[in-house]
Structure 1
Amino acid sequence: MLWLLLLQVLASCLWLGHSEVVMPFASCPQFFYGGTPPNNVLEPKKPAWICQRYRNSYHFATLYDRDGRIPVYSAYIYQPGSGIGPESVWFVEPQLISKNNLNEMERESVLIDEHKFTLDQIKDSQAVREDYDKMTGLSRGHLSPCGHLYSKESKMATFTLTNIVPQDTSLNNGQWNIYELKTMHEKSKGCTTTYVITGAVPGNTYVVEGRVNRPSHIWSAACCLVGTQPKKAWGAIAGNDQNKVENLSLGELEDRLRGLYGGRTVTLFNNACPRQ
């Protein structure tokens, strides 16, 4: 019996050391208030919990759907800074490719030229640049937006396709952009720390020959702390086929998501965050 226990312990250590895509956000709980991610109602059939790592640092956290090839949500701390990211550079996630020990986002060309992966291996469980190049009427919609993070490295890190969904172009450039730039700025005034989770509800349609899910809705939730105490919270949601955003309380957003997820109760934040 002892040798069986030792084998189990060894297997666990080997698994945990394999990559950063492991059980829920063990390496990056700091992006969730109280270290509490959303409950498991949002989890897809084939989830990947990604601590988004770039240049040896974690910048945000993402729950990824390997089947739909889209992120379900990204969580981060709102720290807006000036400057924009380099849209000509897009990363993919080597941790979603089997049998490797790479734990940091990388460009497709580097994975192919230096690490000898094939494009088909990369494409197996994630979207790639050519997928988004083929889309019409849809743009690369950030869940963790470049403009909500402060450092050059954090801004760069948002340009990974594991943080991107096919978003209606008019929405991405219109009312959702206003929410990201203006509404968030206004609502977060006076907050010491603002935790944000932005997500996408998987839809019933796929684009790029069935490779990438087109979300039915885009949503975002925030919990504002003054000092160390949560004082207010809010949410927003938009259908991914029109240029319109609804501003909601956190409780209203969770109720709306409950309806979109088959009537199952959705909890986005630690219960200390106000629902009204």
Structure 2
Amino acid sequence: MLLLLLLQVLASCLWLGRSEVVTSFQSCPQFFFWETTPNDALVPENPAWICQRYNNQYHFATLYNRDLRIPVYSAYIYQPGPGKRPNIWLVEPQLMGQTYPKTMEREWTLLNYFNISLEQLSESQATLKDYKNLTGLNRGHLNPSGHHSNSSSRTATFTLTNIIPQNEKLNGGAWNNYEQQTMISKTKGCITTYVVVGAVPGNNYIAKGRVNKPSYIWSSACCEMGTNQRKTWAVIAENDKNEVEHLTLGELENRLTKLYKRGQVSLFHPDCPRQ
């Protein structure tokens, strides 16, 4: 027992990645325009609010659906930059309970240093096993690594709480074009661009019913251009077609209101234009 405790303390000291699961985004409001989060119309029955922290810094925020094991949405500030794509996948041990470390870490580390079984981890979230042997789908980022300017931020996006089963052609095609090309065009003249990107739950699952396959993927942005100057845009895509539909922010909110069926959806502060 003493040896195990010492190993746990050592592992905790060595870990630089930290991720906080909380009951609100009070610790990381900076990722939302004027610190205003989307309203409760998107909150699922069994949610987790995650302030994603890595290398002692917050990088984005995620609302996670514990039951469906997919993110509801991720919120971040668009700051693209050059750099390599990380080769790492992380999970959130604190989703298992407050007694576990507030860290995002590799499955291997949890299983070997904290005496946590894969079954325990699997009860709280998706694991790497869930995303193996997919057909026509792959691990789709909501918050893409390419929208971040440094290696720590890009690595932080490789947590499975930021991943959905996404149509392979869409992920590598029209959605990728939006992320890598359209965003560059849309953000011209922007000083700060706030993004909220999410997924609408669907009727299909992977991993023997463990992880939901979203029916739609959507993204929205509110850009500050100067004093009292702002512009917005939005897109939505069905998760079985290689097509992206461009909308106004107001049109997306109305579409999501019909899809989620939990009341009128509001994604940003009212000062972000809806048209």
TM-score by length of 1: 0.91
2:220–2:234: 8 Å Cα contact kept in structure 1? yes
What is the CA-CA distance between 1:231 and the residue it aligns to? Answer: 1.2
Task: Measure, in 2, the Cα distance between the counterparts of 1:263 and 1:41.
Answer: 5
Mapped partners of 1:63, 1:86: distance in 2: 23
SS at match of 1:92: coil
How far has the Cα of 1:104 moved from its partner? 1.7
Distance 2:119 2:262 in 1: 37
**Quick one: structure 1 residues 204 and 270, their matched pair in 2 at CA, closer, same or farther if it must change by over 3 Å?**
same
- The percentage of counterpart residues that share the same residue type is 59
The corresponding residue for 2:240 is 241
Instruction: Report the Cα distance in structure 1 between the residues aligned to 2:109 and 2:161, rounded to whole angstroms.
Output: 17
Amino acid of the structure 2 residue aligned with 1:239: E
Counterpart of 2:5 in structure 1 is none
Deviations 1:166-215 (A, max 9, x none): 00000000000000000111000000000000000011111110000000
Matched, 1:60 2:60: yes
Provide the C-alpha distance between the structure 2 equivalents of 1:36 and 1:167, rounded to a whole number of angstroms. 28
**Hey, what does 1:111 align to over in structure 2?**
110
Asked if structure 2 preserves the Cα contact closer than 8 Å seen for 1:84 and 1:147, the reply is no
Three-state SS of the structure 2 residue aligned to 1:190 is coil
- After TM superposition, give the deviation of residue 23 of structure 1 in Å: 1.8
Count of equivalent residues: 257
- CA displacement 1:135-174 (0-9 Å, x = unmatched): 2111111011000011110000000000000000000000
User: What residue is the counterpart of 1:14 in the other structure?
Assistant: none
The alignment yields a C-alpha RMSD, in angstroms, of 1.2
Take 1:180 and 1:144, find their aligned partners in 2: how far apart are those partners? 10
Say yes or no: does 1:168 pair with 2:172.
no
Q: CA deviation at 1:102?
A: 1.1
Conserved 8 A contact 1:137-1:169: yes
The alignment's TM-score, normalised by the length of structure 2, stands at 0.91
C-alpha separation in 2, matches of 1:104 and 1:65: 18
Cα 1:241–1:112, aligned 2, differ >3 Å: closer, same or farther?
same
Q: Which runs of 5+ in 1 are unaligned?
A: 1-18
Quote the offset at 1:230 in angstroms. 4.7
Name the CA distance, whole Å, in 1 between partners of 2:84 and 2:122. Answer: 27
Q: Which one is further off, 65-74 or 93-102?
A: 93-102
Deviation string, structure 1 residues 40-83 (Cα, Å, up to 9, x no partner) = 11111100000011111110000000000000000000000112
Once the two structures are superposed, the pairs formed by residues 175-214 of structure 1 within 5 Å of their partners are: 175-214=174-213
Deviates more, 1:133-142 or 1:231-240: 133-142
- Are the equivalent residues in 1 in contact too, given 2:70–2:211 (CA < 8 A)? yes
Instruction: Note the 1:48-127 alignment, pairs <5 A.
Output: 48-87=48-87, 89-127=88-126
Q: Aligned equivalents of 1:269 and 1:230: distance in 2?
A: 15
CA distance, structure 2, for counterparts of residue 274 and residue 186 of structure 1: 19
